[in-house]
Amino acid sequence: MLLHQRFVPGLAIASYIIGDERSGEAAVIDPTRDVSDIIDFARQHDLHIRHILETHVHADFVCGSRELKARLNDKPVIHASEYGGKDW
């Protein structure tokens, strides 16, 4: 199991990628707007991002879920907390 944290100092924003080395599948938790680091880590470790998890409404920053999904040809599924309503 691989775990990588991306922390943005000053903003106290943390994103994570967790991957299974056997299956090659990975999930990203609370991606920040700049998703390049996440994509690079996945490629370096031969991981395929299948899921993106949003744990809460990010009023303090713009999340990168849609950007990440788009850059991965819309393959990952986004799972969002119900906090914030259906439109969130």
Query: Which has the minimum average pLDDT: 18-22, 49-53, 77-81?
Result: 77-81
CA Rg value for the chain = 13
Query: Tell me, what's the pLDDT at 88?
Result: 54
- 13: confidence class by pLDDT, cuts 50, 70, 90: confident
Instruction: Calculate ∠ Cα 12-71-29, nearest 5°.
Output: 35
CB 13 within 8 A of CB 32: yes
pLDDT above 70 (res 8): yes
In order of their start, the domains of the chain are 2-80 (3.60.15.10)
- 9: confidence class by pLDDT, cuts 50, 70, 90: confident
- Mean pLDDT of the residues in the chain: 86
